[in-house]
A and B are shown apart, each in its own frame.
Chain A
Amino acid sequence: MLRRQFLKNSLGAASAVALSGCGSRESRVQLTFGSYADPGVDILKDEFLPEFEKATGIATEWVEADFSGWFQKALNDGETKAGAFDIYVMDDLWVPRFAGAGYLANLEELGFQPDPDFLPTAIDLGYWPPKTGPRQPGVDPAAKPTLFSLPIVSDVQILFYRRDVFGNTPPVAWEDIARVAREHSNPAQRKFGWVTRGVRGNPIMNSFFVLLHDFGGTEFDEQWRVTFNSPQAIEALEFYLSLLPYEPEGVAEFDSDQEGETLLQGNALAATIWTGWCRQTDDPSRSRVVNKIGFAVPPGHEKRVAKLGLFMAGVAASAPHKKEAAEFLKWFSRSDVQVRFARAGGIPFKTSAFKDEQARSNSRWLDAILDAMTVGVPSPRTSDWSKVEDILGTHLNLALLDKGKAKQHLDAASAEATAFLKSVGYYAS
């Protein structure tokens, strides 16, 4: 008897709750954003969305999930054309996938025109097919690049270094890093000259990327042939491995959070870290090195580059409110709004915002970020990069565990990547 009562009550409760959700008609338009969680979007979410609502009367809702969770939801939404989201916040790595598969609306058709104040390296990432570089098979080599997404928050890997050790001038060459690491490291006392990410796949690949390019190597050539085992690449990996004695022991299991934490705890003297971490270096509840960290473009060798990893925003092809979504993007990309975003502590994507005096005095890392963005290099623009990155990243991880055998591992990586690319039709001959 008791159980039937329970059953009735809970069914009743459940249906009441469910029904109460139906039938609520929205009197004004609501824009739904979907994004992954990251401190980088906090200021946009907390301060600028309410401002947009007040300015235009369009309501906003921000739906967040973890990085891979949001990726799956966005894929699902795009594939099923469910229309649950108006704006997708994406990693720039996703743009080839989403644009190529038709999940994004054409921004030019929605009336968007980029102006020269956009950072070129940032806005270029929004075009598909890509403006420069080889195009993946299946993509028309003659097609005109179309704007499918905009940057929404800049993110790039820059050098975080200890001003009290390096002095006020940042190191410009990788040899400087190696030298300071040699002179100042003391692993027994937990003082490490350098720290990096070592987890297989995307993390270690991101850490290695800058070195690869700085030593003159690339991932592919213009015909998509894998150049991962070129002499320059091998030299870059050997240098990367040469820093290991000055790094924490468990580096092979480090992802960006442990890499950053080692620096913030004061145990590492330098590292290349994403700009989302800049603000925390001066927060006592997060950092033991308040005011001691300097920021610069990562050091160079033959070349000097930085790795781009921007947050991009696109309008969903199945968005129920495309016009309003485009309106938001236009509003947020206005130079005056970007200036205010930079002053509030966000990382903008327009040059004028980076140069604004007030913003620069609030956020002492903006100059370094601007310089880094200017020499920024993105991941290769193909939807198959995820798989290739996984292959290369696994072999890099193995080299890290071996603390050597650079050529052997890079050769194996190249062979496996080449076999994969061949199987999906990259080499027509």
Chain B
Amino acid sequence: MTWVRVALIVLALLITLLPVYWMVNTSLKTQVEVFTSPPTLVPQNPTLQNYIGLFTRRHLGKYLLNSIVIAGSAVLLSLLLGSLAAYALARFARDLGEQKLNFWVLAPRMIPPVALVVPLFLILQKFGLINRQLGLILVYTAFNLPFVAWMMRSFFLEIPVDLEEAAMVDGASRLRSFREIVLPLVAPGMAATAIFSLIITYNEFFFALILTSTPRAATLPVGTAALIGKTQTLYGEMAAAGVVAAVPLVIFALLVQRHLVRGLTMGAVK
């Protein structure tokens, strides 16, 4: 570990965490202190009122629960289905035109949400899924699937086919070779995809806004945005909402990040 490396890591951490620190800092200030000049690095009159107000008057607890359930379910579903599709794409459809594939997977992401929202609203309304957790779960799963499949496909493509074939020559079934050889190798990719999908789904705003209305199904982004008033924004409450919303994701990242590095030494296959 050269000290150059250490210095660079520290610099990266500082740049990354300064605004985060400012968010936490602001969340503990009263409104009058948020706009004080010169800005205070540490709150002079710290208060927990912002956090308390969020949970008592602004239903943040319910929004938090909805977000976790909805995003968690959608990501799990799309990871499962998407990874299977990705494996199939990587192994059996290698010759599929790369450009065509890219287009069909990326196109949904290219279309501005405003174009999608009315048809989606009408469809969900027909099935009585407006303002229901299940409605959003289905929508988010549908959104994540192509993207998860596409990302995982690139990770599967990184693994040479010979590795699996070697195992199968040795007598293992395709399923076994998948589980014991391929899966551990793409674990980092899966972890990254899981983290990214979860973050995107959890922080999604526009569809949650239109397809839900009450704390029965509305999510954190909707609840947080509602803190922006017509003529005024309570910055302290906003910052507090940001902190509360980020906590589950950070915990998830902490749990999953160890898969981001190679878990088992796989060099000994051949």
Contact = CB atoms under 8 A, between A and B. Distances in A.
Do the two chains touch directly in the complex (Cβ atoms below 8 Å apart)? yes
B178 to A, nearest CB: 13
Interface in B118-170: 118, 121-122, 125, 128, 130-134, 137
A55 interface: no
Contacts of A274: 231
Interface in A36-72: 36-40, 61, 63-67, 69, 72
A73 B213 contact: yes
Contacts of B134: 14-15, 17-18
B250 interface: no
A14 B125 contact: no
A66 B227 contact: yes
B268 to A, nearest CB: 24
B214 interface: yes
Contact of B233 (A14, A82, A257, A285): A257
A277 B213 CA distance: 28
A408 interface: no
A13 B213 contact: no
Contacts of A262: 35
Interface stretch (A3-11, A370-378, A395-403): A3-11
Contacts of B47: 285
A14 B74 CA distance: 10
B131 A7 contact: no
Contacts, number: 127
B41 interface: no
A64 B73 contact: no
Contacts of B118: 76, 79-80
Contacts of B35: 258, 261-262, 264-265
B246 interface: no
A286 B32 contact: yes
B122 A67 contact: no
A36 B229 contact: yes
Interface in B95-139: 117-118, 121-122, 125, 128, 130-134, 137
Nearest to A284: B32
A91 B217 CA distance: 26
A190 interface: yes
A193 interface: no
B228 interface: yes
Interface size class of A (residues with CB under 8 A): 35 or more
B30 interface: yes
Contacts of A40: 230-231
Given A63-B214, A72-B210, A80-B122, A257 B37 contact: no
B80 A7 contact: yes
A39 B32 contact: no
B55 to A, nearest CB: 16
B209 A69 contact: yes
Contacts of B121: 76, 80, 82
A32 B37 CA distance: 42
Contacts of B2: none
Nearest to B236: A285
B226 interface: yes
Interface in B189-232: 209-210, 213-214, 216-217, 222, 225-232
A37 B229 contact: yes
A65 B209 contact: yes
B77 interface: yes
B231 A38 contact: yes
A21 interface: yes
Contact of B69 (A6, A13, A37, A284): A13
B216 A21 contact: yes
B120 to A, nearest CB: 11
A100 interface: no
A38 B73 contact: no
B226 A65 contact: yes
Given A40-B230, A61-B214, 20 more contacts: A10-B77, A11-B73, A14-B69, A18-B133, A37-B226, A38-B231, A40-B231, A65-B225, A66-B225, A69-B226, A72-B210, A73-B209, A76-B117, A82-B121, A82-B130, A262-B35, A264-B35, A284-B32, A286-B30, A286-B31
13 contacts: A7-B76, A7-B80, A17-B69, A21-B217, A22-B132, A40-B230, A40-B231, A63-B213, A72-B209, A73-B213, A265-B35, A276-B232, A285-B30
